[in-house]
Amino acid sequence: MADKKPINWTHASTLIAVAILVGTELVGASWAAGWALGGLFQLGPAISRAFEIAFALIGFVGLYFFMRTAIRHEPIR
């Protein structure tokens, strides 16, 4: 393990900030889309919550793939 480079804290702090910013936007927007569709189609509260949760999970998956690409382009080590 001695051959590992030290952590580049500039890159790490940039990636953390990007994860917070993009994560908030992506998950928030997808959650709001589920809420809006539930209201638009006048679905019941349980179905609206299911839409919100499903869309939020899609947002988290999108955040995962975004961060995977961001780490590939700006490695921490």
Domain ranges of the chain: 18-71
- Cα gap 56→33, rounded to integer Å: 9
- Cα gap 64→42, rounded to integer Å: 31
- Cα gap 26→56, rounded to integer Å: 8
Q: Which two tokens stand for residue 55?
A: 């869309």
Query: For 8-64, what is each residue's pLDDT tens digit?
Result: 999 999 999 999 999 999 999 999 999 999 999 999 999 999 999 999 999 999 999
For residues 53, 54, 57, 62, the Cα torsion angle rounded to the nearest 10 degrees is -140
Whether 7 contacts 74, CB under 8 Å: no
